Amino acid sequence: MPRQKKSKEEPVTLSVQKRDIVGKKVKQLRKNALIPANIFGTGFTSISISTPFKDFIQAYKIAHETGIIYLNLDSQSIPTLIRSVQYHPVTNQILHVDFRKIDLKQKIETEVPIEIVGESVAVTQLGGVLLKQHEHLTVEALPQNIPQHITIDVARIQELGQDIKIADLPKSPDYEIKQDPETIIVSIIAHKEESITPETAVAAPEVIEKPEEEQEGETPTAPAEQAKEVKEE
C-alpha cells in the first residue's frame, strides 16, 4: 500500500463503534463494508469494535504501523498504533485489525520499515548484487517520535563487498535503534552464477494444506509483536 506523508499538525483519526457480533458472524460486517477489529493494551480492557472499510484504508495509508491513529469511540479519543492487519490468503481482503492503545508519555519499542534509496556504482558499474539483510529495525521512542521509515542511501557503497551497518547510520535525537550496532543492513556482493547439479538441486517443497480460516481473524496467522511498552528512563 502506498505511503502518504504523515502530518504532525493534523492527527489521524478514525471513527469506530463497539460491536457485539463475534465469531463467524463477522462475515456479515464485511459484507456491509465494515472491518472487525479489537483495541487492547496494558491495563486496558480489550474492546471489540468495527470501522468502515474506506475510512480505515484512508487512515492506514497515512499512519501505517508507525503512526498514531486516534480512535473516536463514543466520547473518547483513544491513541493507538496498528499492531497487525490480517488478510485473506487468496483475495487479500482485510479480515481483521488489532489496535494497540498507547500512552503518549511512555516510550515504546516498535518495528520501523527500512527504505532503500540511491544507486551504488558497485551495482550499476561493477555488476554487484545488493542484498537487503533486514526489512525493519527496532526503535525505542515516544509514540509521536516514531519515524515512518528509516532511509538507507546505498550510493555511499563504492566497492564490491562493502556494507552498511547500524553503526553507520546518523544518530537521531527522537529515537534509538535497539539492535547491535554491528548489525549489517545492506551489502553488495559480486554476481555469481552457479550451475544446478544433482548435489545442489533443491527438492520440491512438501505441499501442506492450510487450516480453515479463523472464525474471526482475531489471532493472526503469523503474529509478530509490533510494539511493546518500556519504562521511560
Q: Are residues 147 and 116 in the same domain?
A: yes
Q: Are residues 132 and 163 in the same domain?
A: yes
Distance CA 213, CA 31 (A): 17
> Is residue 197 in some structural domain?
no
Q: For residue 218, count CB atoms less than 10 angstroms from its CB and return exposed for 0-12, middle for 13-18, buried for 19 or more.
A: buried
Cross-strand bridge partners of residue 131: 187
Q: Indicate the residue among 43, 71, 102 that finishes a domain.
A: 102
CATH code of residue 46:
2.40.240.10
Give the pairing type, strands 17-18 and 76-87: unpaired
Q: For each of the chain's 233 residues, which pLDDT tens digit applies? A: 444 444 445 789 999 999 998 888 899 999 999 999 999 998 889 999 999 999 999 999 999 889 999 999 999 999 999 999 999 999 999 999 999 999 999 999 999 999 999 999 999 999 999 999 999 999 999 999 999 999 999 999 999 999 999 999 999 999 999 999 999 999 999 987 544 444 444 454 454 444 444 456 644 443 334 444 444 44
pTM for the model stands at 0.72
CATH code of residue 126:
2.170.120.20
> Is residue 205 in some structural domain?
no
> Is residue 132 in some structural domain?
yes
Q: Are the beta carbons of 170 and 152 closer than 8 angstroms?
A: no
User: Within its chain, how far is the Cα of 111 from the centroid?
Assistant: 7
Q: Are residues 17 and 55 in the same domain?
A: yes
Q: Are residues 74 and 31 in the same domain?
A: yes
The domain of 58 spans: 12-102
